[in-house]
Amino acid sequence: MNSPGQRFSTIAFIASGTPEAREAYDRLSQRYGNAEPAKADVIVALGGDGLMLQTLHKFMATGKPIYGMHRGTVGFLMNEYGHDKLVERLNSARITVIHPLVMRATDAAGRVHEHRAINEVSLFRQSAQAAHLRILVDGKERLAELIADGVLVATPAGSTAYNLSVQGPIIPVGAPLLALTPISPFRPRRWRGALLPDKAKVTIEALDPGKRPVAAVADHDEVRSVHSVDIGMDLGVSINLMFDPGHSLDERILGEQFGF
């Protein structure tokens, strides 16, 4: 939730390239001013969920609150657009704190690539051959071999994104959990994934990576031909998402569970 007496007056606007977003950007900037992000109290993102994810990644380390208004296609992370009383809306908004995943992927040359993900870290087969993967949790082998198109680890905030599309569980945003979900599993045929504590460290190893190459993706950052990937939640990084009262991320995720 927001702090008592919260006051936001200096705003930085960011927009996607759609005509609707650019029109809103010009209109709101003229009306409320448009500060440099480093000097702003709050960042307002105008677009869809893609633009919001880009904004969250760009300002992840700053701790600045981010408020989205829907001027795109999918708007799960956005508030409704309106040009009136924006400052009042910002000052009455509620803050939901989310934490990203950190992915450390080791490629075929032994290089380690580190990226963060707000939604999920996914491993995919990189060729026509199904991926053969070994899964460890906190250093203990839990699955000796998963034969599948891939597997993903999702945050609660990301559990309604790709994770839901591959039949993974929806997780309430405040729950201290991660979803470990297979993508088109072949063996073990009945394994549908697991819920893990958010402090868990997941290691996924590619078996026979020469014949069956695997790519790893943290939201939009891809590493090709990985041999192993370590995934965990970065509880040291807090992202402050703002929502209008009655339209919190918690409420939206709950609505998804009942098919709204």
The highest-confidence range among 4-8, 14-18, 255-259, by mean pLDDT, is 14-18
What is the mean pLDDT of the segment spanning 161-171? 94
Helix (H, G, I), strand (E, B) or coil at 79: strand
What is the model's pLDDT at position 260? 59
What is the mean pLDDT of the segment spanning 181-201? 95
Given 41, 49, 221, 244, which residue is catalytic?
A: 49
Q: Both 211 and 248 in a single domain?
A: no
What's the pLDDT tens digit per position in 58-81? 999 999 999 999 998 877 889 999
Q: What's the domain range around 130?
A: 101-233
Q: Both 122 and 45 in a single domain?
A: no
**69 within a domain of the structure (yes/no):** yes
What is the model's pLDDT at position 140? 98
Residue 1 confidence (pLDDT) above 70? no
% the chain with pLDDT above 70: 97
**191 within a domain of the structure (yes/no):** yes
Q: Kindly report the average pLDDT of the chain as a whole number.
A: 93
Q: Find where tokens 């010009």 sit.
A: 26
Backbone angles phi, psi at 32, to 5 degrees: -115, -5
Residue 146 confidence (pLDDT) above 80? yes
What is the model's pLDDT at position 4? 47
**Strands annotated E in the chain:** 11-15, 42-47, 66-70, 94-98, 101-107, 112-117, 120-125, 131-137, 140-154, 177-187, 194-197, 202-206, 214-218, 221-223, 226-233, 239-243
Q: Both 74 and 170 in a single domain?
A: no
Q: Both 252 and 139 in a single domain?
A: no
What's the pLDDT tens digit per position in 86-116? 999 999 999 999 999 999 999 999 999 999 9
Residue type at 86 in one-letter notation:
L
This model's pTM is above 0.85: yes
Residue type at 150 in one-letter notation:
G
Q: Please give the structure tokens belonging to residue 112.
A: 């380690």
Question: What CATH number does residue 117 fall under?
Answer: 2.60.200.30
What is the model's pLDDT at position 6? 65
**6 within a domain of the structure (yes/no):** no
Q: Both 249 and 143 in a single domain?
A: no
% the chain with pLDDT above 90: 85
Distance from C-alpha of 131 to C-alpha of 236, rounded to nearest angstrom: 32
What is the mean pLDDT of the segment spanning 10-28? 96
Phi-psi region of 37 (alpha: psi -120 to 50; beta: other; left: phi over 0): alpha
Question: What CATH number does residue 77 fall under?
Answer: 3.40.50.10330
What is the model's pLDDT at position 45? 97
What is the mean pLDDT of the segment spanning 210-237? 96
**Residue 90, Cβ density class (10 Å: 0-12 exposed, 13-18 middle, ≥19 buried):** buried
Backbone angles phi, psi at 110, to 5 degrees: 85, 0
Q: Both 106 and 226 in a single domain?
A: yes
**184 within a domain of the structure (yes/no):** yes
Catalytic (active site) residue 219:
no
Q: What is the DSSP letter of 60?
A: G
